Homo-oligomer: A and B are copies of this chain.
Amino acid sequence: MHLGRLVLVGVGLMGGSLAAALKRSHAVGEVVGLAREPGELARALELGLVDREETDPAAALACADAVVVATPVGAAEAVFRRIAPHLPAGVLVTDVGSTKGSVLAAARSAFGELPPSLVPAHPIAGTEASGPAAADPALFQGRRVILTPAPESDSGAVAAARALWEAVGAEVVEMAAEHHDEVLAATSHLPHLLAYALVDSLARRDDNDEIFDFAAGGFRDFTRIASSDPVMWHDICRANRDALLPALAGFRAELQRLETAVAEGDGDYLLTVFRRAKAARDRFIEGNES
């Protein structure tokens, strides 16, 4: 796989990492960053993540071989509207957004109908850091990337998206967007909401300095994801509302049962839940050791 020109919209952790990885594996000729205003991509240029900054979408998209949207998901519709008039037919458009139903909906709305060359993608990789300085060419190595093509998607475009992600070392799988959103609500969006909720509830206490002062390593790991970018996560919670609400309701019911067990001193119930959870997590970690 080789792309002559890749147009990147949003050059932060994800976009920057993809550019760096494609460059490292000589899978791309030129990376053009499409900026909202001149100078926006100064840091990305300095870091060598993009070769050129463009603010004019027509100029950026001329002769493009692929377009990757790597902004927060709430910006997807505006980005699609901006590129829609200038996108040459058949050019692959993909993204890295954490929610997929919303990206398909944004594209349908911006383009009028879904371009057959649009194949949404979500790399299951990342950290709580953000911005181009956090970009890492090894970020996708050995990680999953979920493609969520629509019925309208062209099979050649799906193959091109697969090749792009495989070029940076990812293992590509396909899934319906709705199913993706439900699975990720459970494993990612809900945990982020819980971590933010816990840290905020402690931060708002009068004794919060002391509280954090006596927090240990377990707390540091548990709350790591609460250091993630607030704008990105507020976008995700809004974009994936329909899958997040049932996940939240399920968790709330589970927590309510545990709270009752604590109140009633029901040690058997606590032990059963804790044992089942530990077994599941230890199994998950072993399965992901490599």
Contact assessment for B199 and A183 in the assembled complex, using a CB-CB cutoff below 8 Å: no
Contact assessment for A218 and B225 in the assembled complex, using a CB-CB cutoff below 8 Å: yes
Contact assessment for B245 and A262 in the assembled complex, using a CB-CB cutoff below 8 Å: yes
The contact string, 1 if C-beta is below 8 Å from chain B, for chain A 2-26, is 0000000000000000000000000
At the interface, is chain A mostly helix, strand, loop or mixed?
A: helix
Contact assessment for A202 and B280 in the assembled complex, using a CB-CB cutoff below 8 Å: yes
Q: Which residues of A21-77 are within 8 A (CB) of B?
A: none
Of A85-93, A113-121, A147-155, A208-216, the one with at least 4 CB within 8 A of chain B: A208-216
Contact assessment for B263 and A199 in the assembled complex, using a CB-CB cutoff below 8 Å: no
Q: For A187, what are the chain B residues with a Cβ–Cβ distance below 8 Å? A: 202, 211-212, 214-216, 219
Contact assessment for A262 and B281 in the assembled complex, using a CB-CB cutoff below 8 Å: no
Contact assessment for B221 and A224 in the assembled complex, using a CB-CB cutoff below 8 Å: yes
Confirm or deny: A265 has a beta carbon within 8 angstroms of a beta carbon on chain B.
yes
Tally of this chain's copies: 2
Confirm or deny: A163 has a beta carbon within 8 angstroms of a beta carbon on chain B.
no
- Shortest distance between the CB of A279 and any CB in chain B (Å): 8
Which residue of B is nearest A182, CB measured?
A: B207
Q: Which residues of A173-219 are within 8 A (CB) of B?
A: 183-184, 186-188, 190-205, 207-208, 210-219
Contact assessment for B216 and A281 in the assembled complex, using a CB-CB cutoff below 8 Å: no
Contact assessment for B245 and A214 in the assembled complex, using a CB-CB cutoff below 8 Å: no
- Shortest distance between the CB of A218 and any CB in chain B (Å): 5
Q: For A227, what are the chain B residues with a Cβ–Cβ distance below 8 Å? A: 278, 281-282, 285
Q: Which residues of A226-252 are within 8 A (CB) of B?
A: 226-231, 233-234, 237-238, 241, 244-245, 248-252
Among A144, A223, A245, the one with the most B-chain Cβ atoms within 10 Å of its Cβ is A223
Q: For A131, what are the chain B residues with a Cβ–Cβ distance below 8 Å? A: none
CA distance A98 to B66 in the complex (A): 56
Q: For A276, what are the chain B residues with a Cβ–Cβ distance below 8 Å? A: 200, 203-204
Q: Which residues of A134-154 are within 8 A (CB) of B?
A: 143-144, 146
| Cβ-neighbour of A274 out of B219, B234, B256 (below 8 A) | B234
Which residue of B is nearest A247, CB measured?
A: B201
Contact assessment for A226 and B278 in the assembled complex, using a CB-CB cutoff below 8 Å: yes
| Cβ-neighbour of A271 out of B124, B128, B230, B254 (below 8 A) | B230
Q: For A215, what are the chain B residues with a Cβ–Cβ distance below 8 Å? A: 124, 187-188, 284, 288
CA distance A120 to B96 in the complex (A): 52
Q: For A222, what are the chain B residues with a Cβ–Cβ distance below 8 Å? A: 191, 194-195, 221-222, 224-225
Q: A196-B258, A221-B221, A230-B277 are in contact. List 6 more A-B contacts (CB 8 A).
A: A143-B216, A197-B258, A226-B274, A226-B281, A234-B270, A241-B265
